Amino acid sequence: MRNTFLAVLACASAITGVTAHPERHDHSKVHSPAIHARGTDKCARQIEHRRDAAFLKRRNALGKRSTSNANRFMYKELQNKTCTLAPDTIFGPYDVDGELHRHDVREGQDGVDLYLDLGLIDVETCEPLSDAWLTIWSCNATGTYSGYIGIDPDTVEAYDGWTTRSDGTTDDSTFLRGISKTNEAGIGEFLTIFPGYYSSRTTHIHVTVQSKVNGDDTSYSDAATQHVGQLFFPEDLINSVYQLAPYHAHLATLNRTLNSEDSLYPTANSDGNDAIIATELLGQTLADGLIGYITIGVNRSAAAIATTGEQVNVQGAIPTVSLSASAQAAANTIDIAQGYRPNGMRV
């Protein structure tokens, strides 16, 4: 049995200059970045083919899907949709600089597995953007971000007994964060979980794109960032996932912010933009996991996005973490065991 939980996608994944977590910090001094036109409708057909190819590749690789009815998942209306890059947003208070290079970011976190493929396309040429670096981060099934496990997702304040460091972090955990390089087809692969939620925000995954990296030095201070955005899910899928453990328990302590109530979702999905991840069931049920895909259009000629200053977050800088060589080696071992090729791995 096949299923799909959303209609269509174009190639956008970001937001206007509304702060990512206004309930936690005073962002009165954070300004919206200038919005630039970064897309064109000439890429729409390429995006459609890339999305279908990505789903087919995942089904074949994972061995849990028949490929005989692959055409059922082709959305013809995409041919007429505009390929745009939605306006960028600030990084928000839960990003860190210096994440592990890896595909599998789960680190044992409970939840519905999400095999997430992010396709990058150069909006100036409509060609796949290979050798670009994607960073993702999201909260776990109960709304907590790694590096910030001392922050209560229901109040977005520090738990009793926890102290927030000067850079905003509370600890050195790294789950559900990672960096991966796109392959020759412009695809970056991640294995994560379907994210939970926290106070005042709908369900989402953060993403950045760096297309001009020297070697594997993905530090924000050394490699320009061409895009920072957030990716979303349709309401019916969110409601279905949140009936499962461990997600369901959180509904008893915090009412979920709907997509329509979110401060960023409406803008990210208007004026031809579509920041919703396309999904399919991996097996027969949600518990078997999901395959997700979205195409992000990138203008490599656009001005780099600031990674320091008041437009970034209230601290004016993204916290930098120092990870041990053994942590990276362990991440590599897990990736190889999962069948991922060592694309961009640090050794």
Residues 6+ apart with CB under 8 A from 90: 17, 19, 20, 30, 33, 228, 311, 312, 313
- 52 versus 313: the higher-pLDDT residue is 313
Residue 278 has pLDDT above 70, yes or no: yes
The 10 Å Cβ neighbour count of residue 91 is 25
Tokens 């059922």 locate to 72
Tokens 């190889």 locate to 336
Q: Rounded distance, CA 50 to CA 39, Å?
A: 17
Q: What is the mean pLDDT of residues 38-53?
A: 58
pLDDT at position 19: 35
Q: Rounded distance, CA 179 to CA 142, Å?
A: 23
Q: Rounded distance, CA 149 to CA 217, Å?
A: 27
pLDDT at position 147: 96
pLDDT digits (tens, 9 = 90+) for 207-216: 999 999 999 9
pLDDT band for position 311 (50/70/90)? confident
pLDDT at position 309: 82
Tokens 């309930």 locate to 23
Q: What is the mean pLDDT of residues 261-273?
A: 84
Residue 241 half-sphere exposure toward CB, CA atoms < 13 A: 28
Residue 5 has pLDDT above 60, yes or no: no
Q: What percent of the chain has pLDDT over 90?
A: 49
pLDDT band for position 54 (50/70/90)? low
Residue 76 has pLDDT above 70, yes or no: no
pLDDT band for position 3 (50/70/90)? very low
Of 49-53, 200-204, 275-279, 311-315, the least confident: 49-53
Residue 41 has pLDDT above 80, yes or no: no
Residue ranges per domain, the chain? 48-337
pLDDT at position 26: 35
Q: Rounded distance, CA 117 to CA 165, Å?
A: 34
Q: Extract the tokens encoding 219.
A: 């530090």
pLDDT band for position 121 (50/70/90)? confident
pLDDT band for position 51 (50/70/90)? low
Tokens 């670009």 locate to 132
Q: Extract the tokens encoding 248.
A: 């369901």
Q: What is the mean pLDDT of residues 27-36?
A: 34
Q: What is the mean pLDDT of residues 166-173?
A: 93
Cis status of the peptide bond prior to 246, with omega within 30 of 0? yes
pLDDT at position 82: 31
Q: Rounded distance, CA 152 to CA 143, Å?
A: 8
pLDDT at position 152: 98
Helix segments in the chain, DSSP class H: 44-62, 235-241, 247-251, 265-268, 325-337
Beta bridge partners of 313: none
Q: What percent of the chain has pLDDT over 70?
A: 72
pLDDT at position 47: 62
Q: Rounded distance, CA 125 to CA 322, Å?
A: 37
pTM: 0.82
pLDDT band for position 184 (50/70/90)? confident
pLDDT band for position 150 (50/70/90)? very high
- Residue-averaged pLDDT of the chain: 79
Q: What is the mean pLDDT of residues 21-28?
A: 35
- 307 versus 86: the higher-pLDDT residue is 307
Beta bridge partners of 188: 118
Residue 105 has pLDDT above 50, yes or no: yes
Residue 242 has pLDDT above 50, yes or no: yes
Q: Is 169 exposed, middle or buried (0-12, 13-18, 19+ CB in 10 A)?
A: buried
What architecture is the 48-337 domain classified under in CATH? Sandwich (2.60)
Q: What is the mean pLDDT of residues 1-30?
A: 35
